[in-house]
Amino acid sequence: MNRYPAWLNLLVLGILVLGCILALPNLYGTMPAVQLVTTDGDDVTQDELDSYVAALKNASVQPEAAYLQDGRAVLRFERVEDQIVAAERLRDRFANEASIASTLAPALPAWVRGLGLQPMSLGLDLRGGVYFLLEVDMDAAIATRLSLYEQSFTDSLNDARIRNRVDVTGNDIVVRVRSAEDAQQAREVIAELDGELLILDAAAQDSFRVRMSENQIRERQDFAIEQNITTLRNRVNQLGVAEPLVQRQGIDRIVVQLPGVDDPNRFDEILTATATVEFRLVDLSGNEPGSRNYPGRGVEQSQSLKRDIIASGDQIIDAEAGFDQGAVVFITLDSAGGEKMLDTTRSNLNKPMSTVFIETRREISVVDGETVARTVRTAEIINTATIRGVFKDRFQISGLSPKEAADLSLLLRAGALAAPVFKVEERTIGPSLGQDNIDRGFAAVMIGFLAVIAFMAIYYRGFGLIANVALLSNLVFIVALLSLLQASLTLPGIAGIVLTVGMAVDANVLIFERIREELSAGSSPQTAIASGYEKALSSIADANITTLIAAVVLFAFGTGPIKGFAITLSLGIITSMFTAIVGTRAIVNLVFGGRRRLESLPV
């Protein structure tokens, strides 16, 4: 007799019910919506949500639903026209308090949201939005590190009472001292700072060169990529975009996908902006070693500023735009920056300190018929003020327009880029094209699904119908897992589902053919069922495991589209193993396993 214990039948039923519940949110579709996040990075409160709704009521716009999700306020509308009006009204009223983004939100009823369920995330090619391919300036990342080494070497040699001159020349740091004896001592000081650095001889005995090792260069480049990815994610989150995708592509590029965004200009400025600030003392003598002249912006005069940086953008932990006799940015430093600022202001009362605004951009020009790109770095004084009192980690920057203050506060709050990024490619995919892709993908899945169902029902009769039930369950499980994991479904992902539909039935074909062979050899129907499932198991496992290995490799080494294909293929293999072996066996056992006088099988 072929029977599963009652607990196993209940387990199979429970898994099927759970899969249906997890897949349920995908039946509701999407609606136009407006999302808001606070500019200070805090979660939106219920009182703030109520104020957003009240502001829209005054404008005669009523959201279909308003709720909090992941620290954001989501206002959902039945018509796109209402969404546009609401976004404009909210920007006019709350521009300084929140970032507002127009997007699409799942049309889930409150009870589904209350369960914490979400539909599967749709990729850019299905939902529409903006695609950016950014290139990281690796040379700038190395140059920044060399500049830090230059200042560190100078400070350490001064502490060791070795007169020196340290300069960055290309990819080398040239250290000059007074004598060969000082050179040997300087080598030892630098070796203690960083043992991985390569210390090379120079032409003169009183100088030597320092170079980063290949391992250090690779680590710095990887750090620049990872730090930039983190910073870009923070910036996108600050702008209120739902379900963004920011990931590395290749050696020096980053892909940013913003689903549901239809205006790329604002995001282009924020994503590629490399603006940061430095705080330096003014060199009143004008001849202090290492001082440099910086131009002023607007009404500010050019000044000679000291070499030492008091604090920089990467030491800022919070920045908020506001007004105090004009647009300002309120700054909060980390502990190290605060201590340095405290020491500086305590020692330099009634002396001027300047805020330097630094920006890096790429300029494209045509020279002799060839396109040439060059990196331009500008550093301007935006504010010079006399230190009237001692302060530590809280102060403000003035000298900015309201828009500059808002953008600079966002950039500083989200973090400085470890290296400049430049836009290589930009694509905008409209929601109508995304919907067309969805329709085509859905049609492909349905055609493949119906073709397989028809074949199985005709060729394997009753057992084919059981396999079709398992195939439908398999699709439900794939959608459920994509929803649970919030893995983005893309066009290549749909291709993976279509492939899975064909592969999912392979296991049942092997099982049913085994059953046929056992019946032809004279085995009883019950024995044929048991033997068919047992003997086909090893072949099914081998075929699916090898395919799963290939899918894992594709996911590990592939980029965005390939990863999407690998994810759905991997999930499809796992779910098909369960439905084809355990699921169909449970149904076969329930239908045929309890029959003592079973003469034949509809296979």
What pLDDT score was predicted for residue 283?
92
CA 497 to chain centre: 24
Q: Identify the CA nearest to 138 among candidates 253, 229, 232, 273.
A: 253
- What lies within 8 Å, CB to CB, of 257 at 6+ separation is 123, 124, 129, 130, 131, 132, 244, 245, 246, 560
Q: Token digits for 553?
A: 């490799």
Q: Token digits for 524?
A: 């009883």
- Give the separation between CA 517 and CA 230, rounded to whole angstroms: 58
Q: Taking each helix axis from N to C terminus, what angle separates 560-577 and 431-485, rounded to the nearest 10 degrees? A: 50
Global pTM reads: 0.63
Buried b (16+ CB within 10 A) or exposed e, 452-486: bbeebeeebeebbebbbebbebbbbbbbbbbbeee
pLDDT 10s digits, 60-74: 888 888 888 878 888
- Give the separation between CA 212 and CA 207, rounded to whole angstroms: 17
Residue with tokens 């990887």: 222
Strands in 172-176's sheet, in edge-to-edge order, are 165-169, 172-176, 207-211, 198-201
If DSSP codes are grouped into helix, strand and coil, which group holds residue 303? strand
CATH homologous superfamily for 30-107? Answer: ACT domain (3.30.70.260)
Q: Identify the CA nearest to 415 among candidates 45, 42, 41.
A: 41
What pLDDT score was predicted for residue 566?
86
Look at phi and psi of residue 116 and say left if phi exceeds 0, alpha if psi is from -120 to 50, else beta: left
Q: Considering the domain 6-24+435-593, what is its CATH architecture?
A: Up-down Bundle (1.20)
User: According to CATH, what is the number of the domain 275-401?
Assistant: 3.30.1360
Q: Considering the domain 139-217, what is its CATH architecture?
A: 2-Layer Sandwich (3.30)
What pLDDT score was predicted for residue 364?
65
Residues of the chain under the 50 pLDDT cut: none
Angle at CA 445, nearest 5°, toward 440 and 451?
Answer: 125
N-terminal to C-terminal alpha carbon distance within the chain = 18
- Give the separation between CA 138 and CA 130, rounded to whole angstroms: 25
Q: What is the DSSP letter of 282?
A: B
189, HSE (Cβ side, Cα atoms, 13 Å): 23
What pLDDT score was predicted for residue 259?
75
Q: Identify the CA nearest to 87 among candidates 98, 74, 100, 76.
A: 100
Q: Token digits for 578?
A: 């369960």
Residue 196 contacts residue 217 (beta carbons within 8 Å): no
- Averaged pLDDT of the chain: 82
Identify the sign of the CA torsion 340, 168, 424, 492.
Answer: negative
Pinpoint the alpha helices (H) of 252-401.
Answer: 264-272, 335-347
Residue 250 contacts residue 258 (beta carbons within 8 Å): no
- Give the separation between CA 177 and CA 181, rounded to whole angstroms: 9
Domain boundaries, the chain: 6-24+435-593, 30-107, 139-217, 275-401
